Amino acid sequence: MTARDIVLWPDPRLKTVCNPVVQVDAATRVLVSDMLETMYAAPGRGLAAPQVGALVRIFVMDVDWKEGARAPVVCINPEIESESDDVATRGEGCLSIPGITLEISRPAAVTLSWTDLDGARRSDVFTGFAAACVQHELDHLNGIVTFDHLSPQGRADMEAEYAEVTQ
């Protein structure tokens, strides 16, 4: 496992719609292993493949590891099957946009399906912080970052703040 450099916004790789994984193979396993190492080292609770420069539809997450044992979830070709009508708003940070936390409203619960490292298709319901994490990481696979959820004025303000913290 090797921690890789995290791609920082506004790198164009973070604005790219990523390609589906055709086959879960040895290269996939190396990438996933490196993504987990990178996420834990950052430290973060979720990481999408484009954040390490790989433009494929994979994300990893482990929402509770800072409070207990590691329990990584690896989602290959993830898709949201359904989402709740009720919405939750929470502060979201992003390893690719260091120093910025944005209040973002999203469906409070989502049903996600994905392919695991054994190539099996799985499905589960995510609520609470995990629901936000799933949607945040899936956004990355579609070239969307937290800034894209803001109004034009809010975005201009936050991009100015980001420019200041990254100087």
Output the residue with the shortest Cβ distance to Zn ion.
94
Q: Does 94 bind Zn ion (CB under 5 A)?
A: yes
Q: Does 47 bind Zn ion (CB under 5 A)?
A: no
Task: Give DSSP secondary structure letters for 34-88.
Answer: HHHHHHHHTT-SEEEGGGGT--BSEEEE-TTGGGSS---EEEEEEEEEEE-SSEE
Minimum distance from CB of 106 to Zn ion (Å)?
Answer: 13
Residue 137 annotated to the active site: yes
Minimum distance from CB of 25 to Zn ion (Å)?
Answer: 26
Q: Does 18 bind Zn ion (CB under 5 A)?
A: no
Contact assessment for residue 95 and residue 145, using Cβ atoms and an 8 Å cutoff: no
Name the residue among 7, 13, 25 with its Cα closest to residue 143.
Answer: 13
Instruction: Name residue 54's amino acid.
Output: A
Question: Which stretch, 36-44, 87-95, 103-111, 116-124, contacts Zn ion (CB under 5 A)?
Answer: 87-95
Minimum distance from CB of 14 to Zn ion (Å)?
Answer: 8
Q: Which is nearer to Zn ion, 21 or 94 (CB)?
A: 94
Report the alpha-carbon distance of residue 17 to residue 6 in Å, rounded: 18
- List the catalytic residues: 137
Interface with Zn ion (CB under 5 A): 94
